[in-house]
Chain A
């Protein structure tokens, strides 16, 4: 197995290591890139102070120089550390999922990420924050979202004997903004405010995360800058208009989501003390994947409760589409330890996974480091990132969450792909049978039901995450239909 690694710049992988040099390179890579801190945090207050001190010293000697940010960070971090009680390990963990994840970033960002991690851990245990977040999720976002029994879809999958699984839809499309993205955006915006930041910077693919962030920033009164790829802007122009209306500044970046992400992080690095990088997906350096997953896990928590209320049990199968993995992890995380719950992730097969134009990172990718984390990614022979393709813009990311990479390797989650055509058919099917427009992303999960349901025993409870609504996709489907008729 070869690996792409970035040793110089943050976000440009610089070539695959050839297998003959593998062992030696591995050692070298380890010493350069391994984060300098020990795996166990907060074992003793004094130990932490010294570690923090040394880290801060490294930081000030680093590229950025200048006392401003270092002083602020030093005081708050040390103070916080000294006030910490001896407790069980933070639920945040150390950012590693097996060999995946981690924090492959330059020194300049390490202190910020540490600060972020500490803040995140403190809010996880802060009842006042949790209560406020709960109120916002209820009154602003509109949670809890229903677990809807799709009668007509269930009938569609009944076989000749009238037997088949029962299909339930987790209605994340009903959230404010029309997707699950807002769960995370609101929580992180609140976190940013708590940290005293004045502005948010983020990148968006399909625009849903951009819209959700812009909405959260308007409400919480933070400035908002959103970077979006030029190719994406064309395909989801309606979302761009929404972001502008909500008061956000939208900046164009040549390319698509991956390029927008790189640019957003560059912007953040330039303004570390006043700006906050709001990760929209479960990728990136630790603690981003964990934070996003944690804030999205409300989906799974509600599902467990609702399943109990509805049929006095657990779901048997959970299906979600996978772009970077935030909605899938949000649904799955609650049930990871329930061995009897089958977890299925569906990626974008584009026009077919054999012709190179797809987004099937977990099915077809190889391990490397991208945007600060080790994970599966779509790369060519030289370890260069290959652009991803899907009719669903939100699935078009050549990487994937490190946590999902780990879950794939251990066999806890199964991954399959669905083509553009199958997704469009599923979109139309749900409209016709249930009067719900699913996002093209979620349509991938729905399309997989065609293959899955015939194999399931009678009465199996299947929950599909409808991660977003598809109003934004009506014109895409319209055009796709026209083109396919030619």
Chain B
């Protein structure tokens, strides 16, 4: 929807400069991205530079209670005050080019047809909306009443997670742009494997940045990426984990921007990535609407999804954001507990700042330095979150809760035993929240949970910690 509204703006209104002051120039820090805390809303003094023809004055975005017609994002990539493009000048052109390519392809029938064909034959869409009978029975109260639980089976996709929806689309986009080389960062390796997969499929060169620590822990995933023909580069700086790999990948992109496309794995990062990745995952929500109509002649009442960077959640939610009667619930990782300091509950415990090119909630200390997050699940182990989630939280449109490692493990075991589906540990966080949610729901409430990935990759971790 946001894409439609931005394309309504005539070309001469597309500002090539970010009208908001570039924090980079204000600080003497040598880091490309500013990690400082922002306590005041970003000033919009220069809003008048923007095209007078645009009906969407940026001043509107700063109102405390925005009107129902909300831009997600606005022409400058902002979701309210969140989002934006906090990047060095060298990347601005690439981002603008990416954005125009994306908008033009969104309307291109051939591109859509090709993408649909790949999603159907290669990825295996559409993924089923599965009625979890035994899980529903588990949540039935003694009087026989309870909600109906449906699982959106993104675990059945090729490579076993929702990640491929975006990877495939971005690889196709990169090809259209004439790029021959793809880079990506990865934590546990899932996004790396998804990226390497699509590069093999499309015959593109592929470089994956991975923290040296992560490479040790995930040697099988490293082997798989290499089998797929990708080059896996170890990152030794910092803590040698995901956030350092991300910074290194961005550095590579800055250097090789003409030949290289950076496949970002989530709805984080500078505009247009949050919008693009969301739109490429939006097929999840679109299918859900259609399937819900077929199955029970209505809409879902509650949507539940786990939130790391936020891509699977946005993919499910996006279609329904404007349906006020559909409740949106995101579940983050509380790790060892919200008070332990070892968690990844960005939206619950974070504060606003800029990370990896976007303004959003993030886990930071008193000095604005990033706090190393913790979660049993690598995919939720991210200290930031997509700007659109920050926006939806502040708006009150979506609710965000968190679940500990222990609760997630129990949910992991529960779904395996009750439905014969082994969920990813990430997904298990969303499943665990059902324990708290279902007792509060009226009889017959239709709950759709995004089963964002399968758990084969997590079995060894889980077995060590569970008594099976």
Contacts and interface: CB of A to CB of B under 8 A. Distances in A.
Given A174-B124, A176-B155, A432-B227, 16 more contacts: A139-B128, A140-B130, A142-B124, A152-B203, A174-B158, A215-B421, A219-B134, A242-B459, A245-B459, A246-B416, A246-B422, A247-B416, A435-B197, A435-B199, A435-B201, A471-B224
Contact of A146 (B122, B227, B460): B122
Interface string A96-116: 000000000000000000000
Interface string A433-457: 1111100000000000000000000
25 contacts: A140-B130, A140-B420, A147-B121, A148-B121, A148-B122, A171-B121, A171-B158, A176-B421, A214-B420, A215-B420, A215-B421, A216-B420, A217-B420, A219-B134, A219-B419, A242-B456, A245-B413, A245-B416, A245-B459, A435-B199, A435-B200, A437-B224, A471-B224, A474-B224, A477-B227
Contact of B420 (A142, A178, A218): A218
A458 interface: no
Contacts of A175: 156
Contacts of A174: 124, 156-158
B199 A139 contact: no
A437 B200 CA distance: 11
A238 B418 contact: no
B38 interface: no
B463 interface: yes
A243 to B, nearest CB: 10
Interface in B127-158: 127-131, 134, 153, 155-158
Interface of B: 120-122, 124, 127-131, 134, 153, 155-158, 160, 196-201, 203, 220, 223-224, 227-229, 413, 416-422, 456, 459-460, 462-463, 468
Interface in A393-445: 428, 431-437
A82 interface: no
A434 B159 CA distance: 12
B120 A241 contact: no
A309 to B, nearest CB: 11
Contacts of B228: 431-432, 435
B194 to A, nearest CB: 9
Nearest to A189: B420
Contacts of B131: 139
A175 B124 CA distance: 9
Given A139-B130, A437-B224, A474-B223, A247 B456 contact: no
Contacts of A145: 124
Interface string A129-171: 0000000001110100111110010000000000000000001
Given A218-B417, A221-B134, A171 B422 contact: no
Contacts of B198: 435
Given A142-B156, A152-B203, A436-B158, A474 B227 contact: yes
Determine which residue in A174, A215, A478 has the highest number of CB atoms from chain B within 10 A of its CB, and name it: A174
A436 B229 CA distance: 12
A244 interface: yes
Contact of A142 (B127, B203, B416): B127
B121 A241 contact: no
Contacts of A140: 128, 130, 420
Contacts of B157: 174
Nearest to A148: B121
B134 A432 contact: no
The list of the 4 closest CB pairs from A to B, nearest first, reads A215-B420, A218-B420, A435-B200, A435-B197
A260 B157 CA distance: 32
B420 A245 contact: no
A50 interface: no
B281 to A, nearest CB: 19
Contacts of B413: 245
Nearest to A145: B124
A432 B462 CA distance: 31
A245 B122 CA distance: 29
Q: How large is the interface on A (under 10, 10 to 19, 20 to 34, 35 or more residues)?
A: 35 or more
A290 B454 CA distance: 32
Contacts of A475: 220
A238 B121 contact: no
Nearest to A169: B121
Determine which residue in B129, B134, B228, B468 has the highest number of CB atoms from chain A within 10 A of its CB, and name it: B228
A428 B223 CA distance: 12
Nearest to A224: B420
A435 B227 CA distance: 9
Nearest to B164: A435
A142 B154 CA distance: 10
A405 to B, nearest CB: 34
A406 B200 CA distance: 41
A241 B420 contact: no
Nearest to A174: B124
Given A238-B456, A241-B463, A434 B416 contact: no
Determine which residue in B122, B153, B160, B197 has the highest number of CB atoms from chain A within 10 A of its CB, and name it: B122
B156 A247 contact: no
A146 B419 contact: no
A474 B420 contact: no
A138 B224 contact: no
Contact of A471 (B419, B420, B456, B468): B456
B422 A146 contact: no
A147 B120 CA distance: 9
A212 B456 CA distance: 13
A76 B148 CA distance: 36
B425 to A, nearest CB: 12
A218 B120 CA distance: 29
Contacts of A431: 200, 224, 227-229
A217 B134 CA distance: 12
Contacts of B224: 431, 437, 471, 474
Contact of B124 (A146, A218, A242, A474): A146
Contacts of A437: 224, 227
B200 to A, nearest CB: 4
Contacts of A245: 413, 416, 422, 459, 462-463, 468
Contacts of B227: 428, 431-432, 437, 474, 477
Contacts of B229: 431-432
Contacts of B462: 245
Contact of A238 (B127, B130, B153, B459): B459
Contacts of A142: 124, 127-128, 153, 156
B120 A146 contact: yes
Interface string A464-486: 00000001001101100000000
Interface in A212-270: 214-219, 221, 238, 241-242, 244-247
A447 B377 CA distance: 37
B129 A246 contact: no
Contacts of A244: 463, 468
A468 to B, nearest CB: 13
A176 B158 CA distance: 11
B416 A149 contact: no
B43 to A, nearest CB: 46
B51 to A, nearest CB: 43
Nearest to A306: B121
Nearest to B457: A471
Contacts of B124: 142, 145-146, 171, 174
A140 B451 CA distance: 12
A218 B200 contact: no
A293 B198 CA distance: 34
A215 B227 CA distance: 29
B53 to A, nearest CB: 44
A218 B419 CA distance: 6
A147 B456 CA distance: 25
B140 to A, nearest CB: 15
